[in-house]
Structure 1
Amino acid sequence: MTVVEIEYCVPCGLLESAIETQTRLLNEFGQDLAGVTLIPGHGGVFVVTADGETIWDKEVHGSDLDLDLIVEAIDDRLPAEI
């Protein structure tokens, strides 16, 4: 099962974005995920990884969070339902 980690910058106030991302993923995929973990960080970080692979990085994608892109990337990693 897929493990998702969301590392976010605490001093930057990105906790709300991290919780929004976590909630969206849990609502979309529920028990298909092994977990969605929030990891406090600093230095402007906002990185979403799935099984260790970077799905979203604020440094690469910019500061506008694209939840649809993140959901699509996670969905692509999950096994197709039969």
Structure 2
Amino acid sequence: MSDVEIEYCVPCGHLNRATDTAEVLLSTFGADIDRVALVTGDGGVFQVRVDGETVFDKAEDEYDIDAITRSVRTAL
């Protein structure tokens, strides 16, 4: 079982994106994930980590929930 963290920028208004991502990951991988944690941040951050390893970073890629889901599947 794995832990997923979604760190999102509060001032940028990424809360909806973070909760949407959490919902998709839980509905897709619920049996394989111990928890999904939303972690507040700033500076434009939007990162998804599986067991501490970054699998998505908005600074490097465009937000694409399908691509994030594939990256999480690979990490699991």
TM-score (norm 2): 0.93
Question: What is the aligned-residue identity percentage?
Answer: 49
Structure 2 unaligned blocks of 5 or more: none
Partner SS for 1:37: strand
Q: Give RMSD over aligned pairs.
A: 0.9
Aligned to 1:15: 15
Structure 1 unaligned blocks of 5 or more: none
Aligned to 2:2: 2
Give the length in aligned residue pairs: 76
Where in structure 2 are the equivalents of 1:1-82 lying within 5 Å?
A: 1-61=1-61, 64-78=62-76
Amino acid at match of 2:65: L
Distance 2:67 2:50 in 1: 13
Q: Alpha-carbon deviation of 1:53?
A: 0.6
Contact 1:7–1:39 (CA<8 Å) still a contact in 2? yes
Q: Alpha-carbon deviation of 1:37?
A: 0.3
TM-score (norm 1): 0.87
Distance 2:2 2:72 in 1: 8
Structure 1 outlier segments of 4+, above 2 Å: none
